[in-house]
Chain A
């Protein structure tokens, strides 16, 4: 089983696919769930305190806006432990949406920079493209160590 970072990091479809092929998806939802269900002094919506942007300093310099660093405090640790990655380019908002373009750029850069297998694939717009999209992702996931088949 490999730990696979997905981009967009909150894509339910991608996360589900990774799981179906026997790997562990590294997705934002899990981290957020962890944050809002861990008992603490602070409350929702996201339970990000001013400490978040400070933790984000590991991934982005101090002159980078606080919102980017706060996001990176969630995504960065996911990239740190990733053993593989899937980056979907030009995805529709309904497929998965990361609010901040600067965070997106940095996230993709850090995934690419890591010495791990990465699949870069464009978001499909036709049925044919859709089939190829699923096939390519499936093949990539199957090729990862101990990757299973959901069939």
Chain B
């Protein structure tokens, strides 16, 4: 499939046309040169699909979803990816959505994502997810890249920090990390830091890739060869840095504002979720915790490792309530070590409850993003899942490294 080909995405949905989001779905798809298609199925099969699929539900539209999923798996509908979606807060649909996603992915190997919408869901919210889906379908050759060649740079414009790396023949020779204030200026500073460390000039860079929230703006600014969302880039960067490019892996990225869980096979993302109902499951909560405890964010991890999370009751489902329970526990005499441990546990618990229920966790579990450097976080995650958590070197630079690696596919000669 070439860059110009339209990517066909099967829309397996319940209620999207009644919730007022259909136009947003269509709009996000057309931005990415993709087309939403509706897998055809036999109407008579709606009477039997429940028993056939093994899931008896009351809503006919959910039966329709199952029948459409079957049409995709059996190849009746020729598509490049699948978008499974239903209303947010509908328990019946949530069960069907998750099982359908698992079924399609396991039975067809097609990239598939699921999302629950409200009437406020916009095309911009859907864009990153659909972009990852279309990339997997369209740029498989690029994702197969295992080595970085030539001199390339990657810039990751995150919600909290902007990261940049300069790489040369599979080695990071310069890195920059600054808080994101003004997107362009922060990116310029981060890249300059990386170039200075590498002892190179901007002209020496043979290809550049941008990712993160500010990727489109930076892509234009740097005239980037690759502008790519963070799900693809981060999963590629994670398996590259962890040296697990072949086989299966699970990547968890706890960013400054959101988090992602990605199931990866041979370096290519399969199922993934991106979320965080509230910033309670992000680095921002840990940042606020360290501020309240009067320690630097870099010290929070060591503090947490020395504490016992069980001594403090905390659930940061909402960042405001999370901080409230933190303040309450300190007022009751809890020691900072226990509070720090509870904060780390709370973040990973939320990721476990919200994200890891939706992707299959296959070892190794690679934890990346700035929060992975806070020692209490990988420890809490390992304790919760009872498996070893792998934090690769430069895990905080994951997006920038992934972008530099993938951009090297554009190095000429």
**Interface residue A65 (Cβ < 8 Å from any Cβ of B):** yes
| Separation of A100 and B20 alpha carbons in the complex (Å) | 15
| Separation of A70 and B88 alpha carbons in the complex (Å) | 13
Residues of A within 8 A of B61 (CB): 99-100
Contact of A66 (CB < 8 Å), options: B43, B57, B58, B87: B87
- Chain A 45-69 interface residues, beta-carbon cutoff 8 Å to B: 45-46, 48-54, 63-69
Q: How far is the CB of B344 from chain A (nearest CB, A)?
A: 31
| Separation of A45 and B58 alpha carbons in the complex (Å) | 24
Contact of A52 (CB < 8 Å), options: B20, B86, B89, B92: B20
- Of B23, B43, B46, B92, chain A has the most CB atoms within 10 Å of the CB of B23
- Of A52, A54, A99, chain B has the most CB atoms within 10 Å of the CB of A99
State whether A49 and B23 are in contact (beta carbons under 8 Å apart), knowing that A66-B88, A66-B119, A97-B60 are contacts in the complex: yes
Segment touching A, from B10-18, B267-275, B299-307, B352-360? B10-18
Q: Report yes or no: A102 in contact with B90, Cβ–Cβ below 8 A.
A: yes
Q: Report yes or no: B87 in contact with A65, Cβ–Cβ below 8 A.
A: yes
Residues of A within 8 A of B64 (CB): 99
| Separation of A45 and B38 alpha carbons in the complex (Å) | 13
Q: Report yes or no: A93 in contact with B47, Cβ–Cβ below 8 A.
A: yes
**Interface residue B21 (Cβ < 8 Å from any Cβ of A):** yes
Contact of A46 (CB < 8 Å), options: B14, B22, B58, B87: B22
State how many residues of chain B have any CB contact under 8 Å with chain A.
Answer: 30
| Separation of A99 and B57 alpha carbons in the complex (Å) | 11
Contact of B19 (CB < 8 Å), options: A45, A53, A63: A53
Residues of A within 8 A of B23 (CB): 42-43, 49
Q: Interface readout for B37-52 with A: 1 if CB under 8 Å, 0 if not?
A: 0000001001100000
Residues of B within 8 A of A43 (CB): 23
Closest-by-CB residue of A relative to B18 is A70
State whether A50 and B20 are in contact (beta carbons under 8 Å apart), knowing that A100-B14, A100-B59 are contacts in the complex: yes
**Interface residue B117 (Cβ < 8 Å from any Cβ of A):** yes
- Of B18, B59, B93, chain A has the most CB atoms within 10 Å of the CB of B18
Contact of B60 (CB < 8 Å), options: A45, A69, A93: A93
| Separation of A98 and B60 alpha carbons in the complex (Å) | 7
Q: Report yes or no: B59 in contact with A48, Cβ–Cβ below 8 A.
A: no
| Size band of the interface chain A makes with B | 20 to 34
Q: Report yes or no: A101 in contact with B59, Cβ–Cβ below 8 A.
A: yes
**Interface residue A71 (Cβ < 8 Å from any Cβ of B):** yes
Q: Report yes or no: B90 in contact with A67, Cβ–Cβ below 8 A.
A: yes
Q: Interface readout for A101-113 with B: 1 if CB under 8 Å, 0 if not?
A: 1101000000000
Q: Report yes or no: B17 in contact with A46, Cβ–Cβ below 8 A.
A: yes
| Separation of A102 and B61 alpha carbons in the complex (Å) | 11
Q: Report yes or no: B20 in contact with A48, Cβ–Cβ below 8 A.
A: yes
Q: Report yes or no: A65 in contact with B59, Cβ–Cβ below 8 A.
A: no
Closest-by-CB residue of A relative to B57 is A101
Residues of B within 8 A of A67 (CB): 14-16, 18-19, 86-87, 90
Q: Report yes or no: B92 in contact with A101, Cβ–Cβ below 8 A.
A: yes
| Separation of A67 and B120 alpha carbons in the complex (Å) | 12
Q: Report yes or no: B59 in contact with A102, Cβ–Cβ below 8 A.
A: yes
Residues of A within 8 A of B89 (CB): 63-65
| Separation of A45 and B14 alpha carbons in the complex (Å) | 14
Q: Report yes or no: A53 in contact with B20, Cβ–Cβ below 8 A.
A: yes
**Interface residue B324 (Cβ < 8 Å from any Cβ of A):** no
Q: How far is the CB of A51 from chain B (nearest CB, A)?
A: 7
**Interface residue B311 (Cβ < 8 Å from any Cβ of A):** no
**Interface residue B334 (Cβ < 8 Å from any Cβ of A):** no
Q: Report yes or no: B58 in contact with A48, Cβ–Cβ below 8 A.
A: no
Measured CB to CB, the residues of A under 8 A from B are 42-43, 45-46, 48-54, 63-71, 92-94, 97-102, 104
A-B contact pairs, 12 of them (CB 8 A): A46-B18, A50-B120, A52-B18, A66-B118, A67-B14, A67-B90, A93-B43, A99-B15, A99-B60, A100-B15, A100-B18, A100-B59
